[in-house]
Chain A
Amino acid sequence: MLGSDAVLRSLELEGVDVAFGIPGGAILPTYDAIARGTTVRHVLARHEQGAGHMAEGYARASGRVGVAIATSGPGATNLVTPIADAWMDSTPLVAITGQVRSNLIGTDAFQEIDATGITMPIVKHSWLVQDVEELPGVMKAAFHVARTGRQGPVLVDIARDVQEAEFDFEYPDDVDLPGWKPPHKVHPRQLREAAKAIAVAQRPIVYAGGGVLNADACAELLELVDSAQLPAVVTLMGKGCLPDSHPLNYGAPGMHGSKFANWALNKADLVIAIGSRFDDRVTGKVSAFAPGAKVIHFDIDAAEVGKIRHAEIPVVGPLKLALAQLTAEVSAVAAEGAPDRGPWLRQLEDWRERFPFRYAKAEGVLKPQTAVELLRDLAANREEDVIWTTGVGQHQMWAMQYLQCDKPRSFITSGGLGTMGYGLPAAIGAKAARPDATVVCIDGDGCFQMTCQELATAALERLPIVTVILNNGWLGMVRQWQEMFYDERFSQTHLTQVAPDYAKLAEAYGCAGFTVESEDQLEDALSAAMSAGRSAVVDVRCDAEEKVFPMVPSGAAAVDTIEAPGGEVMSA
């Protein structure tokens, strides 16, 4: 068998049904193997960054490992952003790149770049394959490392001559990685300590993050919250791990989270962090974060425990197992009498009622939040699953605030890296993973223009997605900071609402295009786009001056928020 065929056989044996990529010189033999026949569907992207984000969207929508394929040199460097994105958000990704022939490595050959070197700080591990005999073992190990422990990206860089070499293919049953030992169990003593702390807490709060989704531990989290009646906040990356409609779910904390979620953390006496990592966008000023709370930190990655905030009770291990065991422990301990948490739960409810997300409607002005609320309501009336993706910026924060996600893997966004342009290709990947779902990318006009060439992929690969551009004509989040903190010096943030004409651009790519200029056109356009049966773009021209509130200024305490104008002012 040729090395190139071995790459495909390995993908098939790993259960890969879709891969995303673009061919080029150093990966040509592997693309020839695709032409020779494989059960792997290859989705041809228009830019390697698009292919990488598609693979991420696929992974996040399905829970399986995403695969992106690119050539050497610029193909590999274009994959760097999605690899970094997957690294920051712990998305399982196998990136496969071609490399120049072994005898040319190190000579600055055409399209040669040190792909393993460039990606070293942003992968769990990487391999440069220069011997075809090593290829099956490396492929096996790559998938194993990507999906076990804390999930994340790996890179397999394969020299062109390896792809062309003939050998006897045999896929190993096991991996040989003596240094890779992710935890597979949980220390029972730590669990008991955690259960005891929960039992005596008067003001506990669960702080759940993306790790719950990655660990497939959503049912276990729900069971814990229900059985112990624990209120919870859920981060941007965790959205959907606990139903947004659950009465004990107080939504997202952080820079643009709700006042009640931030206050819940601030006034808690016990923070139960589960698959979350005390990111600065959540904590604000760390010394003022949950100042009176003891911390229990559940995580698969020991290095996250105690990295930002000391954890009195660290619990390292797989969350699915840990949460199931915790629920049992808590029930056993709680039987001995628990403090009255009525006042705490009433307090949280009172805050939620008094300080909801809000914005001021104005006659004749189309507010972006209105579009998100309408999308939420339209989605609620559909029978099929709706998966949301977003770019990064204001529209992402409004999506976080106003969408209701009751199912895991229904909200896909770039959290840690904050990659503008993530939403559209991620939507295509999500659609490839779950063709029966309606996939809607809520995007900004700035983000859309970073990866919109992938509309061609969506149209031609028959992966219909809906893109709703909250078009305010600006790099809106940067504009917001310039308005609030830089004396309204709007330096290089004005994009204009009219160039390009997004509906025409959509049509040029073979998609349906809609333009919405007033609120009364909104519902028809969004409904039509969601039922178009092909990819559609809705250009929602909305208020350029709308800002995201509440807002925790950078470096401030999470409870020191700037509020939307009007409404009740809260004091400690």
Chain B
Amino acid sequence: MSSHTISVRLENSPGALARVSQLFSRRGYNIQSLAVGPTERPDISRLTLRVDCSENSLEQIEKQMHKLVNVLRVTELAPDEAVERELALVTVNVASERRAELVALSQVAGAQVADIGRDAITFEFVGRPEQVEAFEELVRPYGVRELVRTGRVGLRRPSASRPTQSSVT
């Protein structure tokens, strides 16, 4: 078992996302994260899926997804050949006397302040998924009130030398 990032170009049509997600539950594949959004073309969405599975299951997932009429392309994003990012919003409890310290710390870590309340600050953090996790750990001692992550999105690096593994078309 290992983690894989799969990038899917999908027709932007009703039920298309449901078809992909039901395929995963139906075939017993576990999705770690799923992010979906528009692309350079308004009629096409891109899904970035993070799954934990064996190489054999990965091949099955790709083949089964290819059979969906709304799915245009399925590509595995190899870690060294892809740009992957994730956005997190984290609301951290903080008393007024420690506010400055926390803001300074978070700025060093690369986070932005999104909102400041009486006893809490919401940070936004964009980075590689492992950086998001590191930031979460950094602020955890202060008390994380709420946290949300978008799930990773990814694109193949144009600088990657060889084509990424693509399943049968």
Chain A residues close to B by CB (< 8 Å): 116-117, 120-121, 124-126, 128, 145, 149-150, 177-181, 301-303, 306-307, 316
Contacts and interface: CB of A to CB of B under 8 A. Distances in A.
B72 A178 contact: yes
Interface in B18-73: 18-19, 22-23, 26, 56, 59-60, 63-64, 66-72
Given A121-B22, A121-B26, A178-B72, A302 B11 contact: no
A116 B15 contact: yes
Nearest to A314: B168
Contact of A316 (B19, B23, B67, B168): B168
B2 interface: no
B169 interface: yes
Contact of A179 (B60, B63, B72, B168): B72
B17 to A, nearest CB: 11
Given A117-B18, A128-B14, A307-B60, A302 B69 contact: no
Contacts of B60: 303, 306-307
Contacts of A302: 63, 66, 168
A186 to B, nearest CB: 13
Counting from the closest, the 9 A-B pairs by CB-CB distance are A303-B63, A125-B69, A121-B26, A179-B72, A180-B69, A302-B168, A302-B63, A303-B64, A120-B22
Given A116-B15, A117-B18, A121-B22, A145 B69 contact: yes
Contacts of A150: 67
Contacts of B23: 121
Nearest to B10: A179
B67 to A, nearest CB: 6
Contacts of A121: 22-23, 26
A301 B26 CA distance: 18
Given A128-B14, A179-B11, A316-B168, A306 B69 contact: no
A138 to B, nearest CB: 12
Nearest to B9: A179
A117 B169 CA distance: 27
Given A121-B22, A179-B69, A179-B70, 7 more contacts: A117-B18, A120-B18, A125-B69, A302-B66, A303-B66, A306-B56, A306-B59
Contacts of A316: 168
Contacts of B169: 181
Q: Which of B60, B63, B71 has the most CB of A within 10 A?
A: B63
A179 B59 contact: no
A306 B71 CA distance: 21
Nearest to B44: A178
Contacts of A179: 11, 68-72
B86 to A, nearest CB: 27
A109 B153 CA distance: 39
A352 to B, nearest CB: 36
A302 B72 CA distance: 16
Interface residues of B, number: 22
A412 to B, nearest CB: 25
Contacts of A177: 69
Contacts of A180: 69
Nearest to B68: A179
Contacts of A117: 15, 18
B68 to A, nearest CB: 7
Contacts of B70: 125, 179
B67 A303 contact: yes
B41 to A, nearest CB: 11
Nearest to B16: A179
B15 A178 contact: no
B44 to A, nearest CB: 9
A337 B63 CA distance: 38
B146 to A, nearest CB: 31
20 contacts: A117-B15, A120-B15, A120-B18, A121-B22, A121-B23, A121-B26, A124-B67, A125-B69, A145-B69, A178-B11, A178-B72, A179-B70, A302-B168, A303-B60, A303-B66, A303-B67, A306-B56, A306-B60, A307-B60, A316-B168
A307 B63 CA distance: 10
Nearest to B43: A178
A124 B69 contact: yes
Q: Which of A145, A150, A180 has the most CB of B within 10 A?
A: A180
Contacts of B56: 306
B150 to A, nearest CB: 25
Nearest to B169: A181
A181 B168 CA distance: 11
Interface in B55-111: 56, 59-60, 63-64, 66-72
Contacts of A124: 67, 69
Nearest to A181: B169
Contacts of B63: 302-303
A431 to B, nearest CB: 33
Contacts of A125: 68-70
A232 to B, nearest CB: 27
A274 to B, nearest CB: 19
Contacts of B19: 120
Interface string B139-169: 0000000000000000000000000000011
B26 to A, nearest CB: 5
Contacts of A307: 60
B59 to A, nearest CB: 7
A117 B67 CA distance: 18
Contacts of B18: 117, 120
Contacts of B15: 116-117, 120, 126, 128
A363 to B, nearest CB: 53
B67 A301 contact: yes
Contacts of B72: 178-179
A316 B66 CA distance: 14
Nearest to B11: A179
A124 B11 CA distance: 16
Contacts of A116: 15
A128 B19 CA distance: 14
Q: Which of A128, A150, A178 has the most CB of B within 10 A?
A: A178
